[in-house]
Structure 1
């Protein structure tokens, strides 16, 4: 199995690149945002997920382990194959993925071609309760996921943040952005009231 390739980028196409490794060209499919950040003749070390079918061997490339883990996790959802998972990663970063899932922001997934209301709901519903999901996004593990302290339970924190999230969402704020802001505020003061949380959330989001 191939886990990593290091070489020089020979060419870049819409959905893949050719990586020259000691004279052998490997075709590697990558997310659109990854390809956009690369250049021909650039030296590249890239993580590989190899998928083998009866008559085909396909390589998918990732610039970090978080992206690769999300690629595999997304495919556990019925209706999401390798190409669809890669398309999702081309639109949403790992941080944005965890935020959208925990905030139940279905619209974020609808940005991806081929994903409608039914599949976006399935992705969120199936992944939001996955054990250890927040560890897949280092940017949210400490500040953007609900913590647990001696004075509060996770269910209590979810309730107050959920109520505040509904209020801000009804005012037109993006659910993922609002969720990130509200959890940061709540984790700094878990004795905050719902009214205070909404006010501080409005103040923070209004400055962005």
Structure 2
């Protein structure tokens, strides 16, 4: 089991990183937020889970041990695999996932692409008494950037949101709402977080 990795980032994708460890480049699947916070050439440490399948070995990486614990715990529920678990952490913070499960918040859970009402009910039923709700993640939406770079930032965020299951129209509507305030987000990570909050309303 690969429990963590530390090394230089060799490639940054929308939902994955390549981290060089001992001369070997490891492909690590992450949330878009984690990927956006990384930079090529910089050192990074990620808590990881190795998912072993008959035909593949897939590494998933997280900023914190807390996110990794949630990722592993939600997969104890039938029908929840690593991709869906990662989608939950792409839409909600670990504390928000705990809160939704502890409080039976089906609306919050069904905001995750791939989770319908029945799946949300099953998650709550099986995990409500096993998970400790630490609190609800807060956050104020921060809004838009500048023109030339703005198009590039919006394009990357749109692609990330579509990768998570939303349509281009939903992504554009969320970004528009997220950038309507007075303090625009200056980078991909900030806009992505704001857009995800809008989609989670």
- Alignment coverage as a number of residue pairs: 137
Deviation by residue 1:69-91 (Cα, 9 ceiling, x = unmatched): 11110101111101100110111
2:176 maps to none
Describe the SS at the equivalent of 2:59.
strand
* Structure 1 residues 10 and 143, CA gap change in structure 2 (3 angstroms): closer
Alignment check: 8 A CA contact 2:96 2:135 kept: no
Structure 2 Cα separation of the partners of residues 125 and 54 of structure 1: 30
Long gaps (5+) in structure 2: 138-201
With normalisation by structure 2, the TM-score equals 0.63
Q: Secondary structure at the match of 1:38?
A: coil
Preserved contact between residue 31 and residue 87 of structure 2 (Cα < 8 Å): yes
Alpha-carbon separation, structure 2, partners of 1:55 and 1:143: 38
Moved more, 36-45 or 84-93: 36-45
- Closer, same or farther in 2 for the Cα pair 1:3/1:92, shift >3 Å? same
Moved over 6 A (4+): none
Structure 1 equivalent of residue 117 of structure 2: 117
* 1:137-171 Cα distance to aligned partner (Å, 9 max, x none): xxx54999xxxxxxxxxxxxxxxxxxxxxxxxxxx
Indicate the SS of the match to 1:125. Answer: helix
- Identify the residue that residue 41 of structure 1 maps to in structure 2: 41
Distance in 2 (CA, whole Å) between partners of 1:94 and 1:20 is: 27
RMSD, aligned α-carbons: 2.0
CA gap of 1:113–1:142, structure 2 versus 1, over 3 A, is: closer
Q: Give the TM-score, by structure 1 length.
A: 0.61
Matched with 1:51 is 51
Name the structure with the higher helix share.
1
CA contact (8 A) 2:95 2:134 kept: no
Question: What SS does the aligned partner of 2:87 have?
Answer: helix
d(CA) in 1 for partners of 2:78 and 2:49? 19
